[in-house]
Amino acid sequence: MPNLPRRPSLIDETAAVLRQRLDEGEWTLRLPGEMELATLLQVGRNTVRSALRLLEDEGRLRTRNGLRRKIVSRRDSSEPGRHAILLMAKPENEFPPSTPAWIAEARTRLETLGWTFRVLVEPDAYRAQPAPLLRQLCSGRREAVWILHRSTPAMQRWFQERGPATVLAGSRHEGVLLPQVEVDLGAVSRHAAGRFLARGHRHLAVLRPEGPFAGDAECVAAFREGATRADVAELRCRNGSSGVVAALRQHLRTSPRATGLYVLHPDHCATALSYLQSEGLRIPAELSLICRDDAPYLELLHPEPSRYRHSPRAFASRLATLVARPDLRAGASTRRVLLMPRAIAGATLASVPVLE
């Protein structure tokens, strides 16, 4: 029988909540009694007792002669602090649903291991010259492990050169060797190109947003590599539906026009599908479409887009494991963890019509 993902037990989750409240300073000297904690956390007394034992084993609490458990100051503990900080350009709820899903799962997994987890939204860190702000952010947080989400080349180079323990939740830029967890975007893009070629497509296009995102550039290169027997046009678009429409409108005026369109982002896919059909194109009879990423709303579209789906749970699991590696703080890890998603057949991919 294959291994199944491990779900944190109620005891582990209770211990994680207690750790968080201790770190936030809700209790300073002693914890409330077991019955009071059971009522507060809405779990059984035996669950509370087992969770407290975990914290005692970690050196967070001390008990003697049946008295209420004494809180051990973190300064008094010989164990170094374990803190993870996720750096983002905008709040997680402004990203596709898979992003908040893996963040929540990573938080749970790390807190179960005794870590604190914080999301830091700093748009200025994503500007062309982020060094002054990054120095300020990292000052006094040298013990933390930083997780960079969709980071720029300047950010990645700064963290690589300055030395704070860092993990990339996303793709590396050229010349960067920071530890990384990412969906294998190159393999996905080569696979998508192969799906088009197998159905006779020889004129293809890739729709990607403007911006310095390593993953998008990697996808275009890998798609071209996989589509060696086809012409590939790169369509750059501004974010938002108007940018997608403008890029597609311009392409529809060219000749030969693509018979297969590879779209990198789900929101762009939804816009492309509705716009192309409004222009009278029959999908997939006249133009086939594959989306690199998935989002729950895509299955509500008609026709349902062909696409790829990865597991936020698997992503979070590998990320938490990498963050907690002992060699990460020593700067010795350049580990690259790539996850392969599952192809969703959808209904937007067909063979090129044979002209009689």
Strands 145-149 and 83-88: parallel
Which residue type is seen at 253? R
Q: In whole numbers, what is the pLDDT of the chain averaged over residues?
A: 88
Torsion angle, alpha carbons of 260, 345, 316, 96, to 10: 60
For residue range 104-154, list pLDDT tens digits in order: 999 999 999 999 999 999 999 999 999 999 998 888 777 899 999 999 999
Which tens digit of pLDDT belongs to each residue from 78-97?
A: 345 689 999 999 999 888 88
Same fold, 83-183+312-340 and 185-310: yes
Per-residue model confidence (pLDDT) at position 32: 83
Mean pLDDT score, 183-195: 96
Rounded CA separation 329/281 (Å): 54
pLDDT-derived band of residue 77, with 50, 70 and 90 as boundaries?
A: very low
Confidence (pLDDT) at 95 = 87
pTM of the model: 0.72
Task: Assign 84 to helix, strand or coil.
Answer: strand
d(CA 169, CA 181): 5
Residue with the bigger pLDDT between 207 and 212: it is 207
d(CA 49, CA 149): 37
8 Å CB contact between 16 and 112:
yes
Peptide bond preceding 164 in cis form (omega within 30 of 0):
no
Domain boundaries, the chain: 10-76, 83-183+312-340, 185-310
d(CA 353, CA 233): 20
How do residues 208-267 score in pLDDT, each as one tens digit? 998 767 789 899 999 999 999 899 999 999 988 999 999 999 999 999 999 999 999 999
Query: How many Cβ atoms sit within 10 Å of the Cβ of residue 97?
Result: 14
Which CATH number fits the domain 83-183+312-340, given the four candidates 3.40.50.720, 3.20.110.20, 3.40.50.2300, 3.40.50.300? 3.40.50.2300
DSSP 336: E
Q: Which CATH number fits domain 10-76: 2.10.25.10, 1.20.120.420, 1.10.3720.10, 1.10.10.10?
A: 1.10.10.10
Looking at the DSSP bridge assignments, the partners of residue 100 are none
Taking only the tens place, the pLDDT of each residue in 101-117 is: 999 999 999 999 999 99
Residue (of 40, 132, 144) closest to 84 by Cα position: 144
pLDDT tens track for 12-69 = 888 888 888 777 666 656 788 888 888 888 889 899 888 888 888 777 888 766 567 8
Can you name the CATH fold of 185-310? Rossmann fold (3.40.50)
How sure is the predictor about 2, in pLDDT bands with cuts at 50, 70 and 90? very low
Strand 306-309 and strand 342-344: the pairing is: antiparallel
Percentage of residues in the chain with pLDDT exceeding 70? 90
**Residue in the structure block whose two tokens are 């803190």:** 83
pLDDT of residue 1: 41
Residues 219, 292: contact at Cβ < 8 Å? yes
Identify which of 127, 197, 154, 187 has the alpha carbon closest to the alpha carbon of residue 342. 187
Which pair of tokens denotes residue 154?
């300047």
Q: 216 or 328, which is more confident?
A: 216
